[in-house]
């Protein structure tokens, strides 16, 4: 199926990097992948830790690029959207687990009750308490999207920590776009990040921060630039590793197969997929579907 046909079909529809459809029983055979879900490529920070901990696990990364970015949309709409996509993914690939590698989507699911969530979901969330415990100076910055920071649980956690620490939450949708641009090969200018931070902190406050909580999976991609903005920061808290550990504990009983694990990237729109292709290839993902027999043939040729 060509890309235009794939993108014109009624949603939900998942396209692989070559424009073909994600098919039930073809892309992974009888094997059950772990789905990593995000609106863009931010979830690759989670995928990196999963690949290190569970190198033999089949992975399907799903980028809802048709709706990117989530941070600018109402949480209720995101929750309905995610439920629709997850229900279809469960029918297509019967995943061992769905890792919601997006703080905004995780918050939306939480606020909506369990409408989009079943026992197979693992959600990511900014660990505010952990960040506060790590900080020696008690000067903490939380970087996240506005929808994440507006979540009642996150607001309550920040309020509790503010009793004995200076906590500066900074909402930024711009940083999400900068991270996507960087992964696509672009260059991020540090002054843009500095200007964003200067709207919330004085120079003295900024230079006193020793702990930065990365409350969006896109933001670890910008740590190199952010180190220049927060020169005294020693702790960079990324919840992705803890999510990977939770996944490992949940599926560790699964027996590994002998074929090369499939690592596919799927999208909800073919628009912009070319820009994503090299990013996923660089992170160990294939762009076309490989059948069970093809995997076996590849192993036998090695």
Q: Which residues are catalytic?
A: 102, 216
Angstrom CA distances, 198 to 59, 149, 173, 193, stand at 39, 18, 16, 9
Compute the Cα dihedral for 203, 205, 209, 212 and give only its sign: negative
- Put residue 99 in one of left, alpha, beta given phi > 0 → left and psi -120 to 50 → alpha: beta
Residue with tokens 């930024």: 172
- C-alpha 60/C-alpha 285 separation (Å) is 9
Q: Specify which residues 166 forms β-bridges with.
A: 139
**DSSP of 78-134:** HHHHHHHHHHHHHHHH--SEEEE--HHHHHHHHHTTTTT--TTEEE----HHHHHHH
Cα dist. 286→18, 33, 111, 156 in Å? 10, 14, 34, 41
| 261 phi, psi to nearest 5 deg | -65, 140
Identify the sign of the CA torsion 202, 174, 12, 245.
negative
Write phi, then psi, for 135 (nearest 5 degrees).
-75, 125
């Amino acid at each position: 199926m060509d890309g235009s046909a794939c993108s014109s079909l009624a949603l939900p529809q998942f396209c692989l990097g070559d424009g073909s459809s994600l098919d039930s029983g073809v892309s992974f055979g009888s094997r059950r992948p772990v789905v990593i879900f995000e609106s863009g490529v931010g979830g690759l920070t989670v995928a990196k830790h999963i690949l290190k901990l569970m190198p033999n696990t089949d992975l399907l990364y799903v980028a809802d690029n048709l709706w990117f970015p989530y941070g600018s949309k109402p949480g209720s709409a995101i929750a309905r959207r995610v439920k629709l996509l997850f229900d279809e993914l469960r029918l297509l690939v019967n995943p061992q687990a769905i890792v919601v590698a997006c703080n905004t989507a995780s918050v939306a699911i939480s606020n909506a009750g369990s409408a989009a969530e079943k026992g197979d979901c693992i959600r990511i969330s900014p660990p505010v308490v952990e960040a506060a415990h790590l900080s020696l100076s008690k000067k903490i910055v939380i970087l996240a999207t506005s929808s994440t920071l507006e979540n009642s649980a996150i607001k309550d956690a920040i309020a509790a920590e503010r009793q004995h620490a200076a906590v500066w939450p900074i909402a930024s949708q711009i940083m999400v776009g900068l991270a996507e641009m960087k992964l696509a090969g672009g260059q991020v200018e540090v002054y843009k990040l500095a200007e964003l931070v200067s709207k919330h902190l004085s120079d003295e406050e900024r230079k006193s921060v020793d702990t930065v909580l990365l409350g969006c999976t896109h933001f670890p991609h910008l740590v190199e630039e952010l180190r220049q903005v927060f020169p005294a920061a020693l702790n960079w808290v990324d919840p992705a590793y803890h999510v990977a550990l939770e996944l490992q504990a949940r599926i560790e009983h699964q027996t590994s197969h002998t074929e090369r694990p499939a690592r596919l990237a799927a999208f909800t729109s073919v628009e912009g997929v070319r820009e994503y292709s090299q990013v996923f290839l660089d992170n160990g993902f294939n762009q076309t579907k490989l059948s069970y027999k093809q995997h076996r043939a590849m192993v036998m040729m090695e």
